[in-house]
Every structure is written in structure tokens, then in C-alpha cells.
Amino acid sequence: METVDVDLTAVRDSLRRLSPGRPWRREITLMVGGGVGAGKTTTINTLLGRRAGAVGHVSRGTTSVQGHLYTLDGWRIRLLDMPGLGDSKAHDHRNRPVYRHQASRVDGVLLIAAPPRPAGMPTLRVVKDVIRGGFAPRRIVVGLNRIETVNVETGEGMTPLRLPTRGEPDEQSLAVIERLRRAVARDLLAGVPGSGVTVAQLLPYDARTGWNLGRLVAASLDSLVTRRKR
Ligand SMILES: Nc1nc2c(ncn2[C@@H]2O[C@H](COP(=O)(O)OP(=O)(O)OP(=O)(O)O)[C@@H](O)[C@H]2O)c(=O)[nH]1
Ligand SMILES: [Mg+2]
């Protein structure tokens, strides 16, 4: 697996905000959930810089909860790679209670969503189960992954959005990404009325190139501030 340099500046800033002195003694647990194939495992692998979990290219990748320990500056963050929802009734019947159970005990929830329907049924199910598990929906952080698969209408027809392999996308792409972000926020709120999900909870990123991945992890850590525990 190709390793990429993930910019960890924002992650370090968030960790310092959680505790300016020494790292927490206990592990921080983050659920990484979402629809099947959204890129949960790829996200974790890129962050860890190794193939920690099996990626599903044409079929299911993760079939049961896998915990992976991510360490940084003495901090220990347990990433729970969840099986994706939405590939079959039988699998969802088994996995939805797992989401509810994990939601009742994790520190943070990182929900990975991807086009063409980032706020489709699998994503909505995760939001609903996480709420049922007792996790406050306003604390969910949504990572919008695989945005390169979004088609952009240009004068010449439809072309997929291009992300550079390094650095920031150009202004035009950023404008498209921002529209996408707002549309997904609207759909999420409409799909789970009363959840209070806002656009500020959504962050576009790319699991393969690592673009914005540091900021996504940082946002997940910032969501913990409201319920500080050592
Ligand atoms: N282009 C692109 N492809 C991605 C990205 N993230 C994931 N993929 C691809 O999407 C497919 C599914 O990725 P996984 O990481 O297995 O997704 P998952 O959410 O863990 O899937 P399940 O465990 O089966 O629910 C793989 O073919 C990945 O290579 C991304 O950021 N960009
Ligand atoms: Mg997986």
C-alpha cells in the first residue's frame, strides 16, 4: 500500500485543546461508521499508514467491528471500523444493533458518507441507530468521501470532479464541493428530522490522498470537548 503524508497539524491542535498538559491516560474511542463501501477502512488505513483492515473493492470489506489503535504524541485513539450498513436486509438486521451498542459507549462518531447518495438510506440508518444508542446527533462528524465520483456539468458535458494528488483543489472545484456539502446537510436533516444536523458537521475529504483527513480527525476530537472525561 502506498503511504501518504497526512497533515496532522489540526489533529495535534485538537489534542492540545483536549488536554494542554499530558495526554489522557485512557484511550479515546471513535466509531467510524457509514454505508457499505463509503471508504471507512480506506480512511483508517491511510491514517495508520498501513493496511490495517481489508478494503472491499467490489464486495463487502468489513464484516465485523475491528478496533485499530492509532497513536500520536502519547495519545491513544481506538478507531472502530464498523461493517457498512445497507448492503442487505440480513446484514443490517445483524449490524444495526451493533451500531446502537457502540454508540452508547464511544467518545465520538465519525460517519463516512459518499456519493452518489451520501445522505441515502444507509447513512440515515447510521444516524438513527447512533441516536437510538444515546449519542447526541449534533456531535456526529460527517466525512464526505469519494467526492471525485461526483460529476460536474461543464460546457463539454459531464466530467468527474478532479482533486489534485497534493494540496488544495482549485477554486472552481471547491465551489462544487461546497454545494455538495450543503446539499448533503439538507438531505441529512430532512432524512432525520429533529436531529439538528448542520452543515458545520460535514467535512469533505479524500480517504486515498489524505486531503483534509487530518482536519476530519481533528473535528471528531473537537466533538469530545463537550463531554470531557479522563
Ligand atoms: N477514489 C476513491 N476511492 C475510494 C476512496 N475511499 C475508498 N475508496 C474505494 O472504495 C471502495 C470501498 O472502500 P472501503 O474502504 O473498503 O469501504 P468501507 O466503507 O470500509 O466498506 P465496507 O467495510 O464494505 O462497508 C474501495 O474500492 C476503495 O478503494 C476515496 O477517497 N477515493
Ligand atoms: Mg470496511
What per-residue confidence (pLDDT) applies to 202?
98
**CB 78 near ligand 1, within 6 Å:** no
What per-residue confidence (pLDDT) applies to 162?
86
What per-residue confidence (pLDDT) applies to 1?
78
- Centre of ligand 2 to C-alpha 146, Å, is 14
Q: Name every residue whose Cβ is closer than 8 Å to that of residue 213 and which is 6 or more positions away in sequence.
A: 6, 7, 43, 46, 47, 205, 206, 207
What per-residue confidence (pLDDT) applies to 230?
44
**CB 120 near ligand 1, within 6 Å:** no
Residue % of the chain over a pLDDT of 90:
84
- Centre of ligand 1 to C-alpha 159, Å, is 21
Question: How far is residue 223's CA from residue 181's CA, in Å, rounded to a whole number?
Answer: 19
pLDDT at 227 over 80: no
**Dihedral pair phi/psi, residue 70, rounded to 5°:** -110, 125
What per-residue confidence (pLDDT) applies to 206?
96
Question: How far is residue 197's CA from residue 207's CA, in Å, rounded to a whole number?
Answer: 23
pLDDT at 67 over 90: yes
Average confidence score pLDDT of the chain: 94
**CB 53 near ligand 1, within 6 Å:** no
**CB 95 near ligand 1, within 6 Å:** no
Nearest CA to ligand 1 atom 8: 39
- Centre of ligand 1 to C-alpha 10, Å, is 24
Kindly report, residue by residue over 84-124, the tens digit of the pLDDT: 999 999 999 999 999 999 999 999 999 999 999 999 999 99
Atom of ligand 1 nearest to the CA of 62: 23
Residues 204 and 210: beta-carbon distance below 8 Å: no
Regarding predicted confidence, which is higher, 64 or 2? 64
Nearest CA to ligand 1 atom 3: 146
Kindly report, residue by residue over 19-49, the tens digit of the pLDDT: 999 999 999 999 999 999 999 999 999 999 9
Question: How far is residue 126's CA from residue 31's CA, in Å, rounded to a whole number?
Answer: 11
pLDDT at 199 over 80: yes
**CB 41 near ligand 1, within 6 Å:** yes
Domain boundaries, the chain: 9-227
**CB 46 near ligand 1, within 6 Å:** no
- pTM for the full predicted model: 0.96
What per-residue confidence (pLDDT) applies to 222?
97
**CB 61 near ligand 1, within 6 Å:** yes
Give, in words, the CATH class of 9-227.
alpha beta
- Centre of ligand 1 to C-alpha 54, Å, is 10
The stretch 46-60 carries a mean pLDDT of 94
How is residue 93 written as a grid cell?
438486521
The stretch 152-171 carries a mean pLDDT of 86
Q: What is the largest CA-CA distance in the chain?
A: 56
Q: Which ligand is nearest to the CA of 60?
A: 1
Q: What residue type is 74 in one-letter code?
A: G
What per-residue confidence (pLDDT) applies to 176?
92
The stretch 127-141 carries a mean pLDDT of 98
Kindly report, residue by residue over 139-151, the tens digit of the pLDDT: 999 999 999 999 8
When pLDDT is cut at 50, 70 and 90, the band that residue 152 belongs to is confident
What per-residue confidence (pLDDT) applies to 142?
98
Question: Cell 465520538 belongs to which residue?
Answer: 108
